[in-house]
Amino acid sequence: MLRDFGVEAPEHIVIEAMADAAGAEIVESADRFSATARLVRVNDRAAIRVSASIATEGARRFSIAHELGHLVLGHEESLASLCTLALPGGGADLENEANAFAAELLMPEALVRRRCEVSPVDLEIARGIARDFRVSLLAAARRFVELTSERCALAYARGGAVRWVARSATFAPDIAAGRRLDPDSIAHDVLRGKVDDRPQDVPASSWLDMSDDGGTEIVEHAAPIPEVGAVASLLWIPERRAAALRCFD
Ligand SMILES: [Zn+2]
């Protein structure tokens, strides 16, 4: 699809035109679904119904791209239940495939990867991707972590616990879903309304399972996601500190 549309810059990614070319009509719906969008068949045409409750342009574009993924990847037959836009950890393969399709369609690797090869790492890079590619900060930060060669992870937390974590290929430690937020983490402060919007050093043990971190620190840049009362933390292990955490390699 990217080739067909001659996509060479973010502004060439016109999701409505791509849906139309794939035979799907976008229908705005006043109904509030449990999902934010879904794919429906109407005879030989497909429709992507987008809920009016989607608050932001980024979320709307991602929802449409996700449903387009189901259509283009031929998932319809298998979609017995409503699409739930599951995020990692959800375990539904088709949902993960549709999310991967949406991420590549809206933030093509060929256009984004170069921006991800940076150091130091902070959320400003993701904010730039979100702005230029018109996606949410969360979607942009996930894409950054997917493509960067730096040791990074994105942790999404709500209600005092980690809900899911996306790790870069070089980030060895596992951070389990369900982990309680450590009081030393910035995410913990942000969920309590104490926002300090910059990358900060935190004890490695506040995020990683280790009995003694020997004073090693990692970098955390946390931002609130006010629409859902959540927080996203971008974690980074700088090269010079990685040696102290070799136990994870
Ligand atoms: Zn889905």
Please write the tens of the pLDDT for every residue from 146-187.
999 999 999 999 999 999 999 999 999 999 999 999 999 999
Per-residue pLDDT at 35: 60
Instruction: Give 59 Cα–ligand 1 centroid separation in angstroms.
Output: 13
CA of 157 from ligand 1 middle (Å) equals 22
Q: Residue 87: pLDDT band by 50, 70, 90 thresholds?
A: very low
Pairing type for strands 45-51 and 161-167 reads: unpaired
| 188 CB-near residues (< 8 Å, 6+ apart) | 181, 182
- For ligand 1, the distance from its centroid to the CA atom of residue 77, given in whole angstroms, is 13
**pLDDT above 70 covers what percent of the chain?**
90
Strands, E assignment, the chain: 24-29, 37-42, 45-51, 151-158, 161-167, 200-203, 217-225, 230-237
197-222: b (≥16 Cβ within 10 Å) or e: eebeebbbbbbbeeeebeebbbbbbb
Distance 66 CA to ligand 1 centre (A): 6
Query: Three-state DSSP class for 200?
Result: strand
Mean pLDDT calculated for residue range 219-245: 93
How much distance in Å is there from the Cα of 244 to the middle of ligand 1? 41
Beta bridge partners of 48: 26, 39
State in Å: Cα 48 to ligand 1 middle. Answer: 11
The shares of helix, strand and coil residues in the chain, as percent rounded to the nearest 5, are 40, 20, 40
Ligand 1 center to residue 149 CA distance, Å?
Answer: 28
pLDDT at position 83: 59
* Beta pairing, strands 161-167 & 24-29: unpaired
In the reported structure, the alpha carbon of residue 36 is separated from the centroid of ligand 1 by a whole-number distance in angstroms of 10
pTM, two decimal places: 0.91
Q: Is the pLDDT score of 136 beyond 80?
A: yes
Q: How would you list the strands of the sheet with 37-42, edge to edge?
A: 24-29, 45-51, 37-42
pLDDT at 224 over 90: yes
Q: Give the residue carrying structure tokens 């004890």.
A: 203
Q: How far is the CA of 8 from the centre of ligand 1 (A)?
A: 27
Give the Å distance between the CA of 151 and the centre of ligand 1.
29
Q: Which of 37-46, 204-213, 216-225 has the lowest mean pLDDT?
A: 37-46
CA 99 to ligand 1 centroid distance, Å: 7
Q: What is the mean pLDDT of residues 117-122?
A: 95
Ligand 1 geometric centre to CA of 62 (Å): 11
For position 249, what pLDDT does the model report? 63
